[in-house]
């Protein structure tokens, strides 16, 4: 996340689904010194397995894995432009067709709640209803995916969209695409790459 410019320092956190729960980055540890032994296992009841202290945001990671069985990974960052919009309590509307990459015709901004709380986790689940990404008011953003690569890739996409949306707001209020157009884009994204083997291009005839 830091190398890609969507996070700084020890902010944010990452998790991946594992048998009986998930693996999550530890609390308050810089990523460049983190080793495999530092990653913390947490079950879906919120119990830590083994030693280590999980990220303070483990509650919304757990909530996502319980509510979204298709989610294999969660990436939470404090990226600059997504966070700037979140501090204005603004989501990202359908100003660009790529907003559909997050699963709907907008990217919602969850209401504010103190970090690490169950209240924040509840807000996150509502903001992610029918979506794979959301902003967190006065906080940052979350992206989910089938695996770590997918979640990280979506986080990069969301930050790019936030940056472009932020830039357009400096000029004026952008026009939004119609709901019918976004439905068409969502359908095309659903079909895109269908049948492809991971790492290989789809076969054509």
CATH of the domain at 83: 3.40.225.10
- Residue 27 inside a domain? The answer is no
Residues in the chain: 205
pLDDT at res. 194? 53
**Whole-number Å distance between alpha carbons of 70 and 146:** 6
> Is residue 125 one of the residues assigned to a domain?
yes
Rounded to two decimals, the pTM is: 0.91
- Is residue 47 packed enough to be buried (19+ CB in 10 Å), middle (13-18) or exposed (0-12)? exposed
Question: How far apart (Å, rounded) are the C-alpha atoms in residues 165 and 154?
Answer: 16
6 in any annotated domain: no
Query: What pLDDT does residue 52 have?
Result: 84
Is residue 14 in some structural domain? no
- Cα–Cα distance, 74 to 78 (Å, whole number): 14
Residue 118 within any structural domain of the chain? yes
The pLDDT assigned to 28 comes to 86
Given a cut of 70, the residues of the chain with pLDDT beneath it are: 193-205
For residue 43, tell me if it sits in a domain. no
Assigned domain for 180 exists: yes
* pLDDT confidence of residue 196: 36
Which pLDDT belongs to residue 193? 55
pLDDT per residue over 34-88, tens digit each?
999 999 999 999 999 877 899 999 999 999 999 999 999 999 999 999 999 999 9
Total count of domains within the chain = 1
Does a structural domain hold residue 83? yes
| CA distance linking residue 104 with residue 131, whole number of Å | 6
Backbone angles phi, psi at 73, to 5 degrees: -160, 155
Residues spanned by the domain of 95: 59-191
- Please give the backbone phi and psi of residue 85, each rounded to the nearest 5 degrees, phi first: -65, -40
Quote the mean pLDDT of the chain: 92
**The two structure tokens encoding residue 52:** 């280590």
* Closest to 127 measured CA to CA, from 96, 82, 95: 82
Q: Is 163 a catalytic residue?
A: no
């Amino acid at each position: 996340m830091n190398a890609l410019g969507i996070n700084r320092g020890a902010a944010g956190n990452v998790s991946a689904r594992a048998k009986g729960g998930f693996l999550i980055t530890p609390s308050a540890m810089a990523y460049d010194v983190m080793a495999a032994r530092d990653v913390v296992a947490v079950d879906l009841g919120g119990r830590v397995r083994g030693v280590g202290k999980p990220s303070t945001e483990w509650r919304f990671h757990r909530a996502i894995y319980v509510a979204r069985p298709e989610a294999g990974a969660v990436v939470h960052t404090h990226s600059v432009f997504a966070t700037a919009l979140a501090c204005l309590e603004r989501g990202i509307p359908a100003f660009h067709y790529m907003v559909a990459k997050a699963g709907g015709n907008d990217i919602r901004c969850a209401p504010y709640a103190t970090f690490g709380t169950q209240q924040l986790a509840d807000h996150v689940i509502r903001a992610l209803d029918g979506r794979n990404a959301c902003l967190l008011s006065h906080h940052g953003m979350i992206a989910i995916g089938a695996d770590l690569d997918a979640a990280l890739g979506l986080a990069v996409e969301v930050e790019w969209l936030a940056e472009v949306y932020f830039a357009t707001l400096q000029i004026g209020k952008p026009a939004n695409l119609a709901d019918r157009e976004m439905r068409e884009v969502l359908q095309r994204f659903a079909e895109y790459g269908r049948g492809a083997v991971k790492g290989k291009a789809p076969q054509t005839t």
